[in-house]
Amino acid sequence: MNKLLLSAVLAAAALSPFAAQADDAAASSNQLNNFFVTGNLGQSNYRVGGLSDKSDVFQSVRFGWRWNNIVGAEVGYTSLGQAKQYIGPVTVGFQPKAVILGVNAKYDFYGSWFVTGHGGYLRSRTTAETTYGNLHTSEKSWNNGWYAGVGVGYNVTDNVALALNYDNYRVKYGRAGASQSQANVNVAAYSASLEYRF
């Protein structure tokens, strides 16, 4: 009996490093799989006052992490393209870019299919340009805003996913005050995205 117990103890001691390595590898893999980077490419749709422009390119890159691969935080950079309006010989354009900080969620609902949602705070820098013949003026404005979006996609592999997305960005231009005006710019973005999970 003592020899059997001693043999079991020695066998457990000999195998414990391998078990610990397997547990560490699994834990490390689970932690690393929570980190992701997502790139979006699509079309922006501006709605501001009488201006409506659906012809420019939307681009975004986001880095984030999801707890238990479901809910987490994200940070990113977005270029919302440029909206232009032609008023006789005058061309007026808006070109906002933004840094974003928010929360994100992903839910696998059927096999490899999933839905996503995200939203949060943005800090935008909008360039307004006016061109009349050879005369050209531009002015920049920094403001706070918000963003939100949803998507549906497919997990191609454990690390790679493709999705179709709709996002809405609420940016401002100008400065609020007695002698200055501030315009709200609503930009919808339709895009395809590629996500890589580490």
Q: What is the pLDDT of residues 165-195, one digit of tens each?
A: 999 999 987 765 444 567 788 899 999 999 9
Q: What is the pLDDT of residues 41-97, one digit of tens each?
A: 999 988 766 666 777 899 999 999 999 889 999 999 999 988 777 778 888 778 899
What pLDDT score does 140 carry? 87
Tokens, residue 77: 């950079």
What pLDDT score does 180 carry? 57
Between CA 176 and CA 49 the distance in angstroms is: 17
Supply the pTM of this predicted model: 0.76
Of the two residues 94 and 103, the one the predictor is more confident about is 103
Between CA 171 and CA 148 the distance in angstroms is: 12
